[in-house]
Structures are given as structure tokens and as C-alpha cells.
């Protein structure tokens, strides 16, 4: 694997490295870790890779790797949002498959361009919507698909954070508040899109209309930092999506409730090894990771016995396990691909435009 981004002091690059290597199918061997050559070299040392393979730029990496017998099999893109398209384009043109972090691109036009590039290249392409990698999320999806909840009627998904509630400092905050690097969404692109993907991933239903109210609560902010969105699904279900980065004290409180006409379920990211299923007759089942309660989708993506918790790193690792399968030519249908990436960008672009224009209910293009 080659990495793009993930330089010194970065957040998600080291997470991807640990997760990708967890199952020993993938190894980080190269990277263009920073736009600064010295910092890319520094990152290469910290990751313990061959110094010659910590490249000063994307072009240098793809040119040099193309000459090697042991060239990288794919790249992982973990640079800021505005850089996802140029990085993915360079990889696909070089014939290298791509795993990229979300949001897919900076805006919807870029997403369309990338979708065309992916279609033309015909190479594996994955998007790390992290939460779809959790075993209990896959269990929830399987139970909904199997009819346990009945017809889906209501979805409530929220992703509260508080780390941007005040004056924000530091590398991670800096680019996220800058439209030139974050793209057209603030909170909605950073975490709202995770909540949106999770809602459609678990229910298997499609959001067809939204009513979005996005705020830039902290004075001086251009991009949104607080999002309230009503949703209507194509099957008639209704939903609420709340995402915020100004909810003081909240860490990563992503949680989702889904209600059908026979049962409802609850999953929380900060307690990810349990799933609560509540039936219309009052019976409640606490489904626990690492037990015989799990169906095949979750059981095949669980590594430890019940009570030995798995979490964020393992969820990412599950996405990389899926991607490794795709590289071998096997099917891994639960890994989000380019369609899920474009879908997320459609959601972001539609919500931002509708909120700015106070447009009320607007269709969400399929």
C-alpha cells in the first residue's frame, strides 16, 4: 500500500496504517505523506518504510513505483478533502486502485469527474465510511434486510461532537474550517455524511427528500458547524439527522435508531459492541459482539471473543479486509464504493444549497 497524506502529526493516516496492517494482508511500503518533501521523508522514517519510498510528491511516487517489481498494489488517500480528486486521478491514471477517505471530493462536480475516471479505469475503488465496518452495524443491516424490523418507518441518527465549539486551533481544525481545503461542507462533510451513509447503509432505504437547516454558529465561520436535517425516504419512512461540532462535551456520540412496524434497533458508536433490538411485543434482545447471536456478516468481521471489545481500528480494518478481497478479484459488496462516495457528495451539496436558500423540502437526486 502507498499512502497519500498521513504526514507528521496527522490524525487519520496512522489509523489507516494500523488498520490496513491488522490482518497482515496489507503492508504500508511507500507514500507521498505530505506536500512538503522533508515532512514526507520524516513520516517515512516514523512509519519505518524504506527511505527511498517516502516520496516528495504524487508524481514522483507513481513514476518510481511503476519501475519496481514490488510496486504498490493500491493507494490510500488520507489528505484533506480538496486533495482527494487530484490524488485519486493521479493514481487511476497510473493504473493504481484507490481506497480514499470521505468525503469523496471537495464538491459535486469533482465527484462526477472522479466517478467518470473510476468507470473508465475499471479498477477497485473504496471509500472509508468507517462506521459501515463495525460488526454490529453489519448485523443491524442484515437484520433489517432479513425483515426482523418489518417495514422501516422512522430513522433517527445523530452525530454530536464538541471539539469545534470554541476558538479552534491545530492542524485538524485549520483546514476543516477553510472552504478551499474542506470543500463546500463543514460539519456536514466531516461527520454529517457519515451519519447519512449509516442511515442508508443499515436500512437499505433511499432518502428521497430533505429539509436542511445548517448553521455557522461560532462567529467568523464560513462553513457550517451545526446541522439539523429532516429526511423522507422513498419507501415513505421519515427521519431526522443531527450532526454538530459545537455540542460542548460531546466526543464522537454517533448513534442511530431505526424503527420498523415490528421492531426497532439502537446502535451507539461509543459502545459499538452491542446492538439493542426491541420488539413490538415488549421483548428486547441485547445483541453482543463475539457471541453466537451474530449472523454471518458480523461474525466474519469479528476477531475477539465476546467481552473483549473491538472498536474504531477494527472497523477500519474490516473495510481494508474487504478491499484486499476486491484486489484479489473476490466480491466484497459491503465495502462502500464510488457510488456511495458520490451519494455522500450529493447529500452534502443538496443540503448546503437548500439551507442557504431556505428552500424547505427539496428532492435528493438518486
Among 1, 2, 12, 200, binds ligand NAD (CB under 6 A): 12
Strand, coil or helix: 206: coil
208 binds ligand NAD per the rule CB under 6 A: no
> CA 180, CA 186: separation in Å to the nearest integer?
11
* Cβ(43)–Cβ(31) below 8 Å: yes
Site string for ligand NAD, 211-250 (x = CB under 6 A): ----------------------------------------
> CA 330, CA 323: separation in Å to the nearest integer?
9
Site string for ligand NAD, 166-205 (x = CB under 6 A): -----xx--x--------------x---------------
SS3 content of the chain, % helix, strand, coil (to 5): 40, 20, 40
Q: Of 43 and 289, which has the nearer Cβ to ligand NAD?
A: 43
> CA 186, CA 224: separation in Å to the nearest integer?
5
Q: Write out the binding residues for ligand NAD, residues 22-81 only, by CB under 6 A.
A: 32-35, 78-81
Count of chain residues binding ligand NAD (CB under 6 A)? 25
Q: Of 149 and 202, which has the nearer Cβ to ligand NAD?
A: 202
Site string for ligand NAD, 86-125 (x = CB under 6 A): ---------------xx-----------------------
Q: Of 35 and 291, which has the nearer Cβ to ligand NAD?
A: 35
> Angle between the 338-356 and 193-203 helix axes, to the nearest 10 degrees?
120
For the beta sheet containing 284-288, the strands, ordered from the edge strand earlier in sequence to the opposite edge, are 284-288, 271-279, 263-268, 255-260, 152-160, 238-244, 226-233, 207-215, 361-363
Residue ranges in contact with ligand NAD by CB under 6 A: 4-7, 10-13, 32-35, 78-81, 83, 101-102, 128, 130, 171-172, 175, 190
Amino acid at each position: 500500500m502507498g499512502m497519500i497524506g498521513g504526514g507528521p502529526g496527522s490524525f487519520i493516516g496512522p489509523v489507516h496504517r494500523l488498520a490496513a496492517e491488522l490482518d497482515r494482508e496489507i503492508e504500508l511500503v511507500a507514500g507521498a505523506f505530505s506536500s512538503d518533501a522533508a515532512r514526507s521523508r520524516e513520516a517515512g522514517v516514523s512509519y519505518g518504510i524504506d527511505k527511498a519510498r517516502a516520496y516528495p510528491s504524487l508524481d514522483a511516487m507513481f513514476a518510481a513505483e511503476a519501475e519496481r517489481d514490488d510496486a504498490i498494489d493500491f493507494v490510500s488517500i488520507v489528505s484533506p478533502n480538496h486533495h482527494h480528486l487530484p490524488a485519486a486521478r493521479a493514481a487511476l491514471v497510473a493504473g493504481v486502485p484507490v481506497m480514499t477517505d470521505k468525503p469523496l471530493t471537495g464538491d459535486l462536480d469533482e465527484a462526477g469527474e472522479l466517478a467518470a475516471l473510476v468507470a473508465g479505469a475499471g479498477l477497485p475503488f473504496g471509500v472509508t465510511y468507517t462506521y459501515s465496518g463495525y460488526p454490529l452495524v453489519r448485523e443491524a443491516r442484515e437484520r433489517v434486510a432479513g425483515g426482523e424490523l418489518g417495514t422501516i418507518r422512522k430513522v433517527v441518527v445523530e452525530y454530536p461532537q464538541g471539539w469545534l465549539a470554541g476558538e479552534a486551533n491545530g492542524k485538524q481544525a485549520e483546514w476543516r474550517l477553510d472552504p478551499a481545503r474542506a470543500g463546500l461542507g463543514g460539519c456536514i462533510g466531516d461527520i454529517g455524511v457519515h451519519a447519512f451513509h449509516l442511515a442508508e447503509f443499515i436500512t437499505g432505504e433511499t432518502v428521497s427528500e430533505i429539509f436542511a437547516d445548517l448553521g455557522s454558529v461560532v462567529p467568523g465561520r464560513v462553513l457550517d458547524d451545526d446541522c439539523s436535517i429532516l429526511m423522507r425516504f422513498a419507501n415513505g419512512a421519515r427521519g431526522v439527522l443531527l450532526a454538530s461540532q459545537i455540542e460542548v462535551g460531546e466526543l464522537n456520540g454517533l448513534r442511530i435508531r431505526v424503527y420498523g412496524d415490528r421492531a426497532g434497533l439502537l446502535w451507539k458508536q461509543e459502545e459499538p459492541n452491542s446492538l439493542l433490538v426491541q420488539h413490538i411485543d415488549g421483548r428486547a434482545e441485547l445483541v453482543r459482539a463475539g457471541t453466537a447471536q451474530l449472523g454471518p456478516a458480523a461474525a466474519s468481521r469479528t476477531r475477539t471473543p465476546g467481552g473483549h471489545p473491538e472498536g474504531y481500528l477494527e472497523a477500519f480494518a474490516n473495510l481494508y479486509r474487504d478491499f484486499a478481497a476486491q484486489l484479489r478479484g473476490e466480491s466484497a459488496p459491503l465495502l462502500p464504493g464510488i457510488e456511495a462516495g458520490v451519494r455522500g457528495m450529493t447529500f452534502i451539496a443538496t443540503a448546503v444549497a437548500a439551507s442557504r436558500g431556505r428552500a424547505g423540502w427539496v428532492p435528493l437526486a438518486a
